[in-house]
């Protein structure tokens, strides 16, 4: 599986945050550390329409489960439907 990044826009541009790819590939869930979570994190996914991209925001209402250290988000895409680099 290729590398997928979350993105976060701030005053200095766009930051990339690497996802836990081994966990994602084996569980089909985004495992994200609670201490790194912040509002505004998103993935860019390719829509079914040619050349269109949408933001998929990771928000607390999309948390599927959590434990002491991590939030687990549903990953509703195929890996090739997600942009893998930040512009």
Is the whole model's pTM more than 0.85, yes or no?
A: no
What's the rounded Cα separation, in Å, for the pair 74 and 15?
22
Give the H/E segment covering residue 23: helix 21-27
- Spell out where the chain has E strands: 5-10, 13-18, 29-33, 42-46, 53-57, 63-66, 70-74
pLDDT score, position 40: 93
Tens digit of pLDDT for each residue in 39-84?
999 998 887 776 788 899 999 999 999 999 999 998 888 877 887 6
What's the rounded Cα separation, in Å, for the pair 28 and 26?
6
């Amino acid at each position: 599986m290729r590398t997928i990044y979350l993105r976060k826009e701030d005053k200095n541009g766009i930051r990339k945050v690497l996802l836990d790819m081994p966990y994602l590939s084996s569980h089909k869930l985004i495992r994200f550390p609670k201490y790194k979570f912040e509002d505004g994190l998103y993935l860019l996914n390719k829509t079914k329409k040619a050349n269109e991209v949408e933001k998929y925001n990771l928000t607390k209402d999309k948390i599927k489960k959590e434990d002491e250290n991590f939030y687990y988000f549903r990953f509703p895409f195929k890996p090739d439907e997600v942009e893998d680099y930040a512009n």
